Amino acid sequence: MESIRELHRQLVAKERSAIEITQEFLDRIQALEPQVRSFLHITADQAIATAKQVDAQIAAGEPIGMLAGIPIGIKDNLCTQGVPTTCASRILENFVPPYESTVTAKLKAAGAVMVGKTNLDEFAMGSSTENSGFQVTSNPWDLTRVPGGSSGGSAAAVAAEECVVALGSDTGGSIRQPASLCGVVGMKPTYGRVSRFGLVAFASSLDQIGPLARSVEDAAILLSAIAGHDRYDSTSLDVPVPDYAQLLRPNFRPKSRLRIGVIKETFGSGLDSVVEEKVKAAVEQLQELGAEIQIVSCPRFSYGLPAYYVIAPSEASANLARYDAVKYGNREADPENLVAMYKQTRAKGFGAEVKRRIMLGTYALSAGYYDAYYLKAQKVRTLVKQDFQAAFEKVDVLICPTAPTTAFKAGEKTDDPLGMYLLDLMTIPVNLAGLPAISIPCGFDRQGLPVGMQLIGNVLREDLLLQVAHAYEQATPWHLKKPELLMNEAERKAARSQAAATTKS
């Protein structure tokens, strides 16, 4: 599968038109969607129309940007004017936004071709995409398994080559964890790096939009396109946006010795042995590439999860109050009886996990419990942040697994919300501290399922994360492997006999 850079070259050299590229992806979507189900809406007509415009620009000799004519998937919690935006919730089943999110407006202006809106856990609450109110997405590496979540549709679409890159949102791990389970690159930028205007709010102090891609360079290109200050989001940072992809060429050579810290606490109980083995091998590889490795401690790291499950539901309970059948939401009852209308609309429109979060959050914020839960959790949040600050006095980048396991079977954890929450143990502290982090593939388990590792950077050090991730990617073969789903018969046979040979040896 071609990179953005290669597709761009082909377009400019007139070897292929934007229409041809778009049609190829729409055809693949049509062929694979019955099995993968990454998309909630496919925007074929709009995609063709955009591709036509790009072709006209090229024909007229006008310069085009890197993303012009590039097929892209958009998570369905990003508002797209005139295109349904459901957050995978029944309550927003018929919602068509009258405005465009800042990130999708930027992509539109860049000529990117949106092929569809991708599936997610309802309102981005979940880690497997099974909480979608509409459909379950499958992991392209094994269709009986989950793609992770909540940006599972975006991760699966990228892994299945239904689009070149995609946008996700990450409140506690929702870009990085599905990226890890689907064998792709996923980045959560620094809080404030990307405007949240038009992202349907889950937990506003934690939410951040970011790229999912098959290579670090593609992720870098997409990040540069969406980052930057926005007067419609007062939390967006007013700092210049580097051309991240440009910083990757030629291959990164740090000026001084790069110090990488392995977070000791993340290698404890509950971690799959294969994940541990692959991440440790990646650490060795980074050492061979010239990095200095240190073991660092973040003693309060594991308190991040309980603090998050007070803070995120609290913010969600406030944010989701707007789905009242007046401002937003499908009206399920006679408005003559206001209370009944609220009750019935919300009872019918929200799924079980969303209701659980609203109840948890309302409780944590209620008078009498606020200090014991919400305020306490905020204090813990500060402690988690301080641990990171102390670690970044000693090292430039931190490393740990992205998720404790590889992709699990669909249905395996649906009756165990706490078990599901634990999947974000290693991603959540990063959101609490507002730091940037990237997940990249670092190997496969015995069943051929991808393993991901997480690199965490200091505030606004996306540049360094991308450089380190790129250097590692270029030195390893993981990004070259593709799911059997995308192979022809001969490739499948060859892959199977190779797998059999490596299991024997």
Binds ligand GLN (CB under 6 A): choice among 102, 171, 190, 405 = 171
State the catalytic residue, choosing from 17, 174, 215, 317: 174
Contact 467, 221 (CB under 8 A): no
> In the beta sheet, which residues pair with residue 439?
186, 454
Kindly state the smallest distance separating residue 108's Cβ from ligand GLN, in Å.
Answer: 24
Helix or strand run (H / E) with residue 218: helix 216-226
216 is a site residue for ligand GLN (CB under 6 A): no
158 is a site residue for ligand GLN (CB under 6 A): no
Binds ligand GLN (CB under 6 A): choice among 126, 211, 261, 361 = 126
89 is a site residue for ligand GLN (CB under 6 A): no
Closer residue to ligand GLN (CB): 51 or 125 = 125
170 is a site residue for ligand GLN (CB under 6 A): yes
What does each C-alpha distance from 431 to 258, 457, 458 come to in angstroms? 24, 12, 12
Closer residue to ligand GLN (CB): 312 or 464 = 312
Number of residues that bind ligand GLN (CB under 6 A): 13
Find the part of the chain contacting ligand GLN (CB under 6 A) among 167-175, 251-259, 264-272, 396-404: 167-175
State the catalytic residue, choosing from 75, 188, 278, 482: 75
Q: Give counts: helices (H), strands (E), the chain.
A: 16, 11
How many residues make up the chain in this entry?
505
For residue 215, indicate whether it is catalytic.
no
80 is a site residue for ligand GLN (CB under 6 A): no
Termini Cα distance of the chain: 30
152 is a site residue for ligand GLN (CB under 6 A): no
* DSSP-assigned letters across all residues of 332-394: -S-TTSHHHHHHHHHHHHS-HHHHHHHHHHHHHHSTTTTIIIIIHHHHHHHHHHHHHHHHHHH
User: Running DSSP on this structure, what letter comes out for residue 484?
Assistant: G
Binds ligand GLN (CB under 6 A): choice among 122, 424, 462, 473 = 424
127 is a site residue for ligand GLN (CB under 6 A): yes
Binds ligand GLN (CB under 6 A): choice among 71, 73, 152, 172 = 172
Q: How far is CA 229 from its chain centroid?
A: 21
Three-state DSSP at 418 gives helix
Contacts (Cβ under 8 Å, ≥6 apart) of 448: 141, 142, 499
Closer residue to ligand GLN (CB): 21 or 420 = 420
Closer residue to ligand GLN (CB): 67 or 430 = 430
For residue 150, indicate whether it is catalytic.
yes
Contact residues toward ligand GLN (CB under 6 A) are 124-127, 150, 170-174, 202, 312, 424
Residues classed as catalytic: 75, 150, 174
